[in-house]
Amino acid sequence: MTADTGNTAQPPSSQPAAQSAALEGHIEQLLVAVEQILRAEPAGVSELALIKRLQQEPWSLIGDVSFHDPAALYPVHFLLFHTLYRLREHLAPESVSLHISPLVIRLEDSNIVAGTGVPDREDKLRTFYLDLSGYDLPEEDILQMVDDFWAGREGNNPGPYELQEACALLGFDEIPASFAEIKQQFRRAVMKAHPDRGGDTERIQALNQAFSVLRTHFRPGGNPPAGYEEAKV
């Protein structure tokens, strides 16, 4: 079954029961596909890479996606993360944990007993994504979430592991002393990764995500630093 969870997806609250059941069936297919992809990629994949894999054969579970339109991308993002949090619960009895972030999604060995809970920050995300009513957000709410993310407002501060991933992606061994170093390295990395120079869109998207994580770390509660501009492809 191929479902376009991009621009044409409709929220479950506006669908009749049969279509809601079809959505649940689609999620079940996503669970199988995502687990297979992650087991084949021990180092993990980014959210963008996972979406692209799900668009391709043999899965073809996600239709066309407008990556630069937050309102159009949100249903795809939400449904994927809903699937990931359900998969995490499914794998817990096997002592397998699932690391979930836009930068890296991967399976990991776990010594945590299922049902003992996770850190508070992750619990909030789990609650949000497992509630399918979050799939039915008005466009203005989606855009506000995006604004909050870029502004680094309270509740969106990255954790230590996410900061480590972002630093590594930009070529740092540790968090730099100043945001100016990050901005300089970001520009160099984007120039090197640009499609016109042999790079690809996926790499640009990953660099943008890493940059936004570190920007939020340096400017919690503030506006994007002067001179910031997301790389375009």
CA angle 214, 216, 220 (to 5 degrees): 140
Query: In this structure, are 132 and 163 located in the same domain?
Result: no
Q: Is residue 40 situated within a structural domain?
A: yes
Q: Is residue 120 situated within a structural domain?
A: yes
Query: In this structure, are 78 and 193 located in the same domain?
Result: no
- pLDDT tens, position by position, for the chain (233 residues)? 444 554 444 454 444 576 677 888 899 999 999 999 999 999 999 998 999 999 999 899 999 988 878 888 889 999 999 999 999 999 999 999 999 988 899 999 876 544 444 444 447 888 989 998 888 788 787 777 766 655 544 455 677 888 888 999 999 999 998 888 998 998 888 888 876 677 677 788 788 888 888 888 887 543 444 444 445 54
Query: In this structure, are 76 and 160 located in the same domain?
Result: no
Query: In this structure, are 59 and 83 located in the same domain?
Result: yes
Q: Which domain holds residue 162?
A: 150-218
Q: Is residue 35 situated within a structural domain?
A: yes
In the listed set 109, 137, 165, which residue is the last one of a domain according to the structure? 137
Query: In this structure, are 21 and 126 located in the same domain?
Result: yes
Q: Is residue 144 situated within a structural domain?
A: no
Query: In this structure, are 45 and 125 located in the same domain?
Result: yes
Query: In this structure, are 83 and 190 located in the same domain?
Result: no
Query: In this structure, are 196 and 125 located in the same domain?
Result: no
Q: Is residue 61 situated within a structural domain?
A: yes
Q: Which amino acid is at 89?
A: E
Query: In this structure, are 69 and 90 located in the same domain?
Result: yes
- Written as six digits, the tokens of 29 are 């297919």
If you search the block for the tokens 């279509």, which residue do you land on? Answer: 19
Nearest-angstrom CA–CA distance, 162 and 209: 11
Nearest one of 13, 15, 5 to 138, comparing CA atoms? 13
State residue 202's pLDDT score.
Answer: 76
Query: In this structure, are 85 and 161 located in the same domain?
Result: no
State residue 149's pLDDT score.
Answer: 56
In the listed set 90, 105, 137, which residue is the last one of a domain according to the structure? 137
Nearest-angstrom CA–CA distance, 202 and 212: 16
Given its phi and psi angles, is residue 44 left (phi above 0), alpha (psi -120 to 50 degrees) or beta? left
Query: In this structure, are 47 and 110 located in the same domain?
Result: yes
Number of domains into which the chain is organized: 2
Nearest-angstrom CA–CA distance, 143 and 138: 9
Helix axes 70-91, 139-151, angle to 10 degrees: 80
Query: In this structure, are 22 and 119 located in the same domain?
Result: yes
Q: Alpha-carbon dihedral of residues 69, 13, 47, 118, nearest 10 degrees?
A: 130
Q: Is residue 85 situated within a structural domain?
A: yes
Q: Is residue 143 situated within a structural domain?
A: no
In the listed set 97, 112, 137, which residue is the last one of a domain according to the structure? 137
Q: Is residue 233 situated within a structural domain?
A: no
